Structure 1
């Protein structure tokens, strides 16, 4: 690409087997700029919605990370791993074939609402300046503190005895009929670890559990319908303009010319807002994000210039 870089979002359907940083690198080449970031990482095993910001739109990403997210996942009961997913080493197996579907659904229902969740030990959370996953990789025993998260909705689609064999989540002497796969959809707050739900469900049922599949279906208003595969982007680089992205993610307020000039100076406005709001110039240009401040509104992030 030549000329000025257009700021906006690129919604990618991340394939499995590639890191989020790997996707960022590819979009940097397509966009013609190194100023590309993502709104929440996905593990290499995971697929689905990865929201990338280009140029000034990278400054939107920190606010997008505060939104709800949606996932489809498969939880395998009967096997625990050291990463809480299928990429880790098996640490324990306990036959789960005796569990009823009713018991599994009842246990999962306990996770809905405001809960305290201990993040997976191989998360990107920093412990004394070092990523937790790096400490685990170095052989350290990492104990993370519980954090408040919200599970808005958890839907169970299927509960099935496993009939396939030969995966990395079985040990010698463990029959596949001892394992159960649970297909779920989750709508949750940012910061929720679906792997931790699998781990904690297995612990609650006394059999261990881990994820065998994870697909992110939504980040805020951006869903798989908006996402494009890497191959599709290679054929036609498609970017959601920053103004459209802001309108999709936040309440919008249309300013008059005088107010727009005040925003360009980074000043407070005599506006009564109920939430973080995207404000626009009379010509439709996205100017800033403003937040309530009593009877006024103050700039949280200004995107002009």
Structure 2
């Protein structure tokens, strides 16, 4: 039987997140595989994949903080806000100084309101925005609140009318780095799009833990579900009586461990459940005990 747990994949370029799931299904020999937080085909880096019971963790893990290395090209706009799309406009970025770049990035740091890219998986009236965009329909997407915790310039390179800005971004779930590139270019009056994106961290899982597809084909490393939960969420160890209550979907008294999910473990160290504290009670979000 396949171990329940997480596989931290270093996604290659030109693979969709769904391609990675398909490959993991074959390697793990199970249909019960999913992923947390989609990466665009152009992007590489950390993709968290859940196997068997760990697929029920993914919705909770998708909400955690993420970190990226990115390159933004100023001077060109595309219809996808990244290098996968067609160039729709060009305007010289030769006038853009380092100080202007820093000021533009500062304005996109902190809690911001962000309009997602036209070509995205967001649903509008039940249909994916990218499907509507492909049909030539104008998609009206509403701005959403996101938080850019850190947006730091790591390099600036100039080539004629184009300026490439290397940056490191730490952000909340739901933040589009493509949209940051688009909005930086718009603010600087020259347009911009993303030419490189590598996700370096999702919550506690970083590139140091990630394995390439080739490495996983040789040795499928699955982080056991208990270890995965202990790494990502506060841990609560309970008595045998409380363990029985949780295993049957019952509530426990709250332990003051915060608003997010908490991992509950039996006296022998087995993962029992993820719970969420509401008032005086800890209510099960997902029960893993057999």
TM-score calculated relative to the size of structure 2: 0.98
> 1:103 maps to what in 2?
100
Runs (4+) off by over 6 Å = none
1:28 has 2:11 as partner = no
**Equivalenced residues, count:** 288
Measured against aligned partners, the alpha-carbon deviations of 1:143-179 in whole angstroms (never above 9, x if no partner) come to 20000000001110011103xxxxxxxxxxxxxx000
> 1:304 maps to what in 2?
289
Measured against aligned partners, the alpha-carbon deviations of 1:263-303 in whole angstroms (never above 9, x if no partner) come to 01111112323232100001111111111121221111111
Once the two structures are superposed, the pairs formed by residues 1-305 of structure 1 within 5 Å of their partners are 4-162=1-159, 177-273=160-256, 274-275=258-259, 276-305=261-290
Helix, strand or coil for the counterpart of 1:182? strand
**CA shift for structure 1 position 129:** 1.1
Helix, strand or coil for the counterpart of 1:301? strand
Measured against aligned partners, the alpha-carbon deviations of 1:230-258 in whole angstroms (never above 9, x if no partner) come to 00001111100000000000000101100
Helix, strand or coil for the counterpart of 1:13? strand
RMSD: 0.8
Please list every run of 5 or more consecutive structure 2 residues that lacks an aligned counterpart in the other structure.
none
Contact 2:182/2:192 (8 A) holds in 1? yes
Please list every run of 5 or more consecutive structure 1 residues that lacks an aligned counterpart in the other structure.
163-176
Q: Distance in 1 between matches of 2:81 and 2:253?
A: 50
Q: Distance in 1 between matches of 2:115 and 2:240?
A: 49
> 1:173 maps to what in 2?
none
TM-score calculated relative to the size of structure 1: 0.93
Q: Distance in 2 between matches of 1:39 and 1:147?
A: 20
